[in-house]
A = this chain, B = another copy of it.
Amino acid sequence: MTDLQRFSFNQITAKHATLRECAEACVRHGVRWIAPWRDRVQEAGLSESARMLRDCGLRVSSLCRGGFFPAATQAERQARIDDNLRAIDEAAALGTDCLVLVCGPAPDRDLDAARSMVADGVAALLDHARARRVRLGIEPLHPMFAADRSVIVTLAQALDLAQRFDTELAGIVVDVFHVWWDPQLYAGIQQASGRIVGLHVSDWASPLPGILAGRSMLGDGVIELRRIRSAVDDSGYRGPVEVEIMNESLWSSPIDSILDQSVKRFLAWV
């Protein structure tokens, strides 16, 4: 990337900062986009967050996150859907057209049943998503999260799910950390043309610094970041690119250092 026009700062990259601290740091570093997480929005208040981000001149690339559809009982599944409906409202209030969905694990050993629950859950959100003009971004997670975060684990599977619904309502989010290993990656990105609603970048260092917090700064790992970004561009996506890095060592850095590294590495590697 030659400039920061498409750079978005995903708030989890500075996990210990409040939304306001993130937003003000973004402004100091010339960043135009931010992707807040729901817990930090709730902490600051929804309308206060929306106003504060507007006042900072920041646009919201996506809201993280909805999803987690599968559950053992119908009542619990409905509670998850209700929470996703609220997340759609929050996304609309923040002025973003993308709600990221991390689809959730199975409540037992039955992956097939859980995958059906995910499809049913997404379907239950469509009317509200249409009314609020929010697009649902189904994010396939790395298969190492299949037991505890998402039964949707490949680009092809996420695309197959999204394609059951209208293009303007359901798309997929490509996070390089989750999909870089896939032998079908580039074919899948091409097939997803018109359905990609978000691109997240981080890196895969070896050995991994962890599982849940296993991501590394851009350029510190083995992912062909520019090749994947170019392939996503070629598929027609021209929206913001979120830097989303969960890493204990990075989290312990001052926020200006986090932003400074993220911006420089983004320009060098993405």
A residues engaging B (CB < 8 A)?
Answer: 105-106, 108-111, 115, 142-144, 146-148, 153-154, 156-157, 180-183, 204-208, 211, 221-224
Contacts and interface: CB of A to CB of B under 8 A. Distances in A.
Nearest to A225: B109
B143 A182 contact: yes
A143 B109 contact: no
A209 to B, nearest CB: 11
Given A157-B183, A224-B109, A207 B115 contact: no
A188 to B, nearest CB: 12
Contacts of A223: 109
Contacts of A180: 146
15 contacts: A105-B206, A109-B222, A109-B224, A110-B224, A111-B181, A111-B224, A142-B143, A143-B143, A143-B181, A146-B180, A146-B181, A147-B204, A147-B206, A147-B221, A153-B182
A181 to B, nearest CB: 4
B147 A222 contact: yes
User: Could you say which of A110, A143, A221 has the most chain B C-beta atoms within 10 Å of its C-beta?
Assistant: A143
B144 A206 contact: no
Nearest to A204: B147
A208 B225 CA distance: 28
A247 to B, nearest CB: 16
